[in-house]
Amino acid sequence: MLFRSFETITHELNQFELECVEYLGQWFMANKGKQHTLKNADIAMMAEKRFGKKLIDSRVRKIVQFLRTNGLPNLIATSNGYFYTEELKDIENWIISLKQREAAIRTIREKAERHLEIMKIRKYASNQIEMF
């Protein structure tokens, strides 16, 4: 999925990144739990060692999102990094965090939409005054 204004970093996965998906999916399944937490830099370093190519942070996030939506929904993120878990408490806490971030994003979107409407009204009013 491409995101407007972020097309250069949200494009679909390329062949190298799909190879990283397979490799990392297998790694996370074999190394479950918080003790196997990986930061973006760790994932990028693993990919570079394995495939000889670099990954930037935004593409690591894209790979993680792909893994989550295609078989590893319990690949969770914390401030310490990513790890795969089957512990209910870890998953519950992650879902709470997702909901909190979702609410924060919704709040700023709603504020931006209201501000845009005010700006449109002001611009319309200004144009009407100029016409007379």
Tokens coding 70: 């295609």
Rounded CA separation 27/108 (Å)? 37
- The alpha helices in the chain, defined as continuous H runs, are 7-10, 15-30, 40-51, 57-69, 88-131
User: Nearest 5°: phi and psi at 81?
Assistant: 135, -160
Residue 97's pLDDT is what? 96
Tokens coding 67: 């893994």
- pLDDT class for 124, splitting at 50, 70, 90? confident
Cβ–Cβ < 8 Å for 70, 81: no
The pLDDT > 90 percentage for the chain reads: 82
Residue 3's pLDDT is what? 46
Rounded CA separation 50/45 (Å)? 9
Mean model confidence pLDDT for the chain:
90
Q: Is the pLDDT of residue 109 over 60?
A: yes
- In tens, the pLDDT along 8-60 reads 545 789 999 999 999 999 999 999 999 999 999 999 999 999 999 999 999 99
Burial of residue 127 (CB within 10 Å: 0-12, 13-18, 19+) is exposed
The pLDDT > 70 percentage for the chain reads: 89
Rounded CA separation 46/100 (Å)? 31
Q: Is the pLDDT of residue 128 over 80?
A: no
